[in-house]
Structure 1
Amino acid sequence: MEASSSSPSEGEIRQLIEGELLRTLEATGRVPNSLHFANHFQVDHAVVVSVLKKLESHGVINAVVVEVSSTELTKEGLEVVEAGSPEARLFEAIDAASGTLKADTEKLPFGKPGFSEAMKNKWITFDKASGKLMRQARTAMHGTPVWLHDKPPPLPLDGQELTWVVWTCCQASTIDDVVRQKLCGFKNGEALSDKDKLVFSKRKLLRDVKTKVFDLSKGECFSVTGIKKKALDLTAEMIASGAWETETFKEYNFNALGTQPTSGHLHPLLKVRSAFREIFLEMGFEEMPTNSFVESSFWNFDALFQPQQHPARDAHDTFFLSQPASMLTWPEDYLQAREKEEPLRLTTHFLGSAAAGGLGSIGWRYDWKLDEAKKNILRTHTTSVSSRMLYKLGQQKSFTPKKYFSIDRVFRNETLDATHLAEFHQIEGLVADYDLTLADLIGVITQFFQKWGLTQLRFKPAYNPYTEPSMEIFAFHPGLKKWIEIGNSGMFRPEMLLPMGLDPNIKVLAWGLSLERPTMIRYGVKNIRDLVGHKCSLDFMRTNPICDLQLDDKYDASAFVRPNEQQ
Structure 2
Amino acid sequence: AVRSAPIDDSVDFAKSNNFSHQAVVGVLKSLHSREIVEISQKRIESWQLTDEGSRCRDHGSPEYLLKEILETFGETPKKVVIEKFNALLPSSILPVDQTEGKIPKSAGEKMLDIAVSQGMKHKIFKIRNDGDVFISLTKPDFHDDVREACRKISSGIPLESTKAYEVLKKRQLVYQSITTSYAVKKGPKYDSSEREVAVDLTRSMLQNRTWKNMEFKPYNLNAAGALQPTGSIHPLMRVKQEYREIFLEMGFTEMETSNYIESSFWNFDALFVPQNHPARDAQDTFFISDPKSSAPPVDTYLNKVKSVHESGEGCESTGYSYVWSGEEAKRNVLRTHTTAVTARILYQLAQNRDHQYGKFFSIDRVFRNEEMDKTHLCEFHQIEGVIIDKDLSLVHMMTVLKQFFQRIGIQKLRFKPAYNPYTEPSMEIFGYHEGHKNWIEVGNSGMFRPEMLRPMGFPSGSHAIAWGLSLERPTMIKYGLKNIHDLFGHKIDVSFCKRSPIYRV
Fold conserved between structures, TM > 0.5: yes
| 1:350 maps to 2:309 | yes
CA distance in 1 between partners of 2:239 and 2:498 (Å) = 16
Please say if 1:455 is aligned against 2:411: yes
C-alpha displacement at 1:29, in angstroms? 4.5
Query: Deviation string for 1:454-509 (max 9, x for gaps)?
Result: 33433332221111222222334455454443221111112211211222222111
- The residue type paired with residue 57 of structure 1 is S
Q: Deviations over 1:283-335 (max 9, x none)?
A: 01111111110000011111111111111111111111111111035322321
User: Are 2:488 and 1:532 aligned?
Assistant: yes
Stretches of structure 1 that go unaligned for 5 or more consecutive residues are: 1-23, 115-129, 135-178, 337-344, 550-567
Equivalent of 2:218 in 244, 251, 274: 251
Distance 1:331 1:185 in 2: 89
Quick check: 2:389–2:464 contact (8 Å CA) kept in 1? yes
- SS of aligned partner of 2:215: coil
The amino acid of 1:260's aligned partner reads: L
In 1: Cα distance, 2:415 partner to 2:47 partner: 65
Q: Give SS of 1:408's match.
A: strand
Q: Following the alignment from structure 1 to structure 2, what is the Cα–Cα distance between the partners of residues 506 and 25?
A: 89
Which one is further off, 39-48 or 29-38? Answer: 39-48
Q: Residues 248 and 426 from structure 1, CA distance in 2 versus in 1: closer, same or farther, beyond 3 angstroms?
A: same
| Structure 1 partner of 2:95 | none
1:16 corresponds to: none
Contiguous gaps of at least 5 residues in structure 2? 86-107, 120-135, 141-147
Paired residues, number = 441
1:465-544, aligned counterparts within 5 Å? 465-544=421-500
Match of 2:186 in 1: 218
Aligned mate of 1:318, from 274, 285, 307: 285
CA contact (8 A) 1:99 1:132 kept: no
Report the Cα distance in structure 2 between the residues aligned to 1:312 and 1:287, rounded to whole angstroms.
Answer: 27
Instruction: Give the match for residue 436 of structure 1.
Output: 392
The alignment status of 1:49 with 2:25, answered yes or no, reads yes
**How many angstroms apart in 2 are the aligned matches of 1:350 and 1:78?**
77
| Structure ID, larger Rg | 1
Distance 2:57 2:457 in 1: 93
SS of residue matched to 2:428: strand
SS at match of 1:30: coil
Which AA in structure 2 matches 1:350? Answer: H
CA separation of 1:227 and 1:541: change in aligned 2, threshold 3 A: farther
* Aligned-partner Cα distance in 2 for 1:458–1:497: 28
Counterpart selection for 1:377 from 333, 338, 342 = 333
Q: Residue 40 of structure 1 aligns with which residue?
A: 16
Q: State whether residues 423 and 449 of structure 2, in contact with CA within 8 Å, keep that contact through their aligned partners in structure 1.
A: yes
Between 1 and 2, higher relative CO (CA 8 Å, sep ≥ 6) is seen in 2
Could you say if the C-alpha distance between residues 518 and 227 of structure 1 is closer, same or farther in structure 2, counting changes exceeding 3 Å? farther
CA displacement, residues 69-104 of structure 1 (integer Å, 9 cap, x when unaligned): 9x87645898389846779x969x879xx9455865
The answer to whether the 8 Å contact 1:94/1:133 transfers is: no
2:234 corresponding residue in structure 1: 267
RMSD, aligned CA: 4.2
**Paired residue for 1:25?**
2
Q: So what's the TM-score if we normalise by structure 1?
A: 0.67
Q: Distance in 1 between matches of 2:369 and 2:115?
A: 61
Once residues 176 and 359 of structure 2 are traced to their aligned partners in structure 1, the CA distance between those partners, rounded to angstroms, is 73
> Retained in 1: the 8 A contact 2:349–2:357?
no
Amino acid at match of 1:215: A
Q: Which residue pairs with 2:363 in the alignment?
A: 407
Cα distance in 1 between the residues matched to 2:429 and 2:44 = 60
Secondary structure of the corresponding residue to residue 225 of structure 2: coil
Find the aligned partners of 1:226 and 1:94 in 2 and give their Cα distance.
68
Give percent identity, aligned residues only: 43
One-letter amino acid matched to 2:37: I
Report the secondary structure of 1:410's partner residue: strand
